[in-house]
Structure 1
Amino acid sequence: MFYKNTPCFSLILQPYSRLVLKLIPPKSFRQLKLMSEETKAEQATADGPTIFDKIIDKSIPASIIYEDDEVMAFHDIHPQAPVHFLVIPKKRLNQLSDATEEHTALLGKLLLTAKNCANLMVLEKGYRVVINNGREGCQSVYHLHLHVLGGRKMKWPPG
């Protein structure tokens, strides 16, 4: 996959990106992107290391907002809002439905970290916190994570 910051994108795809966007109506383009996220969720499994495990062990880079011994917050590589970051526990919990009473403090810490990072990102007008859980919840990475989205007015209903 090409990322906008890479030379390959600039040399190969950039001249065509406007043409492609003109050919695909905006609503259809969004639906196409959503379908790919749904496909990812259908194919996702809880087996093996996830991209978040690799971010935690620093084997792949991330734009980290906050980190301590228990949690980490970093910018999403495919933002869905002007501000979009993720908050994850460092000790892997596959999904919210796997949480037990022993995870109460960790779940609280995830929410407080989301709030504190939203304050750092100057989201005083509001933001949305989303947890996708399981296949029908469109969870595509089986490592519990909170999406925090802001910087614009959110639409309702969300899904």
Structure 2
Amino acid sequence: MRSATGWERTQVAQSDPECLFCKIVVGEVPAEIVREGERTVAFRDINPQAPTHVLVIPREHHPDVAAAARAGTGLVDELAREAQEVARGEGIGSDYRLVFNTGTGAGQTVFHVHAHLLGGRGMEWPPG
């Protein structure tokens, strides 16, 4: 729901009261929000790995990108679209990396699907 000052923070239908990112969505935990949409929230990573490092998350809770894709609601597409809008707003245009870590072995530490938008410098390959 949109208010005069932006998106109101409200409980979402599918959330986990113990999840850090769900708490950010409802405003219980502060974050530097850079963009909000009806289904998404984008905020700066607290441990940036590039000049621009923004996390794009859905308002609803899914533990990882595979679970979000299985839900079949177009959420992964929405995350990618929102990441593109954030990149444009951050002035990095179409030169960015979008990363989903899935599982502890891949470095996922918060089990709420999130896309890492990285940019503002050259990206080497292969990554770390």
Aligned to 2:104: 135
Q: 1:143 to 1:101 in 2, by over 3 A?
A: closer
Residues 83-108 of structure 1 show CA distances to partners (whole Å, capped at 9, x for unaligned) of 10000000000012223454341111
Task: Name stretches of at least 5 consecutive residues in structure 2 with no aligned partner.
Answer: 1-15
TM-score (norm 1): 0.66
TM-score (norm 2): 0.81
Which residues in structure 2 correspond to 1:1-159 (within 5 Å)?
49-124=18-93, 126-159=95-128
Aligned to 2:8: none
Give the Cα–Cα distance (whole angstroms) in 2 for the partners of residues 77 and 110 of structure 1. 20
Indicate the SS of the match to 2:72: helix
Give the Cα–Cα distance (whole angstroms) in 1 for the partners of residues 94 and 22 of structure 2. 32
Indicate the SS of the match to 1:109: helix
Q: How many residues align?
A: 113
Q: Which has the higher helix share?
A: 1
Indicate the SS of the match to 2:23: helix
* Shift in Å, 1:149: 0.5
* Shift in Å, 1:125: 6.0
Amino acid at match of 1:64: I
Give the Cα–Cα distance (whole angstroms) in 2 for the partners of residues 125 and 53 of structure 1. 28
Amino acid at match of 2:50: A
Q: 1:68 to 1:83 in 2, by over 3 A?
A: same
Indicate the SS of the match to 1:97: helix
Identity of aligned residues (%): 41
Amino acid at match of 2:60: K
Residues 118-151 of structure 1 show CA distances to partners (whole Å, capped at 9, x for unaligned) of 0000103611100000121111000000000000
Give the Cα–Cα distance (whole angstroms) in 2 for the partners of residues 99 and 88 of structure 1. 11
Instruction: Please identify runs of 4+ aligned residues in structure 1 that moved more than 4 A.
Output: none
* RMSD (Å), alpha carbons: 1.7
Residues 48-103 of structure 1 show CA distances to partners (whole Å, capped at 9, x for unaligned) of 62211111110111111111221100111111101100000000000122234543
Structure showing greater Rg: 1
